[in-house]
A = this chain, B = another copy of it.
Amino acid sequence: MEKQTVTIYDVAREAGVSMATVSRVVNGNTNVKPSTREKVMKVIEALDYRPNAVARGLASKRTTTVGVIIPDITNLFFSSLAQGIDDIAKMYKYNIILTNAEEGQEENALSSVLARQVDGIVYMGHSLPENIRKELKRSRIPVVLAAMNDSKEEFSSVNIDYETAIYEVTQRLIKSGRQHVAFVAQEDYLGDNQPSRLNGYKRAIKVSDLPVEEDLIFGLNQGKYKNAYDFAEKLKNSRADAAVIINDEIAAGILNYLQDEGVNVPEDFSLVSSNDSAVVEMVRPRLTSICPPLYDIGAVAMRILTKMMDKDDDDEIDKVVTLPYKISERQSTRDI
């Protein structure tokens, strides 16, 4: 079962140079006479030599690999981020070890990634549990959070201003005449870890001199369409006449349920979603949505990480970046 056979040593021998020289040409070190460089290149070609990244990683203490933790790869929100991450990683010649970390599995995912001696980590999640925060710090490698805030500001992160975005759409819903705007999110967004969205919602309610109705704040344990469709009955039976929803699949599920039950959207009920994934265009009426630049968030996160991995001092690096967002008004709202 021997796989890789030709090593740097074989190339050296065949080319009549030392392995150091081969190493130099492979790594693009300039201190090599053009003629010998060429000679070595030829041998590399002939032998079809491919450097062993594992050995290289051990010797150099750099694996040019970054770990990416993703809560759900089948969620368009996260996979869009991942695509941005991946593209930039490629651009800078980093490989990605991507692990799907389901709820509660984050720590395992993280430590197995850390064991692989990754040079940095991009962490995505609904929240940042204390144990993860600790592991992340302990690792002493660069970390950037994508599409999540770090309330303690210990880590770099890239986001849109979720609080303001939610504030804004909630406000607009109220101004359009809605009296009972509900807030629907996965449970994680209701806790202390990622308070920004909920805060934005509450602030908008308060500023309009409306009461924050706690029974109009709903937490789902999953972000899946069917789950949301089943949940929607509760929303229908509540006083709500509008909802701000944190996840497109949930929004789609709610929208379809309401309509299947004879509720007119947007006449009787307004819906605003948050991610502007393809889903918002697929349903009818199309969903009004906040539009975070998902791909860019991932891309910028990775870009920052590359900077951190290159330099030793993180000082001149933007630690916390906030990207602009838009709001697309579509047919699930009226006059907002």
Contact = CB atoms under 8 A, between A and B. Distances in A.
Contacts of A87: 100
A12 interface: no
Contacts of A97: 65, 95-98
B141 A3 contact: yes
A207 interface: no
A179 interface: no
Interface string A1-30: 101100000000000000000000000000
Contacts of A279: 279, 282
One complex includes copies of this chain to the number of 2
Interface in A208-233: 224-226, 229
A1 B312 contact: yes
Size bin of chain A's contact surface:
35 or more
Given A3-B139, A50-B115, A95-B116, 14 more contacts: A3-B140, A4-B117, A52-B117, A54-B57, A54-B63, A55-B58, A86-B99, A87-B100, A90-B105, A95-B112, A96-B97, A226-B281, A252-B282, A256-B281
11 contacts: A3-B139, A50-B115, A54-B117, A58-B58, A73-B83, A73-B86, A74-B83, A95-B113, A96-B98, A97-B97, A226-B278
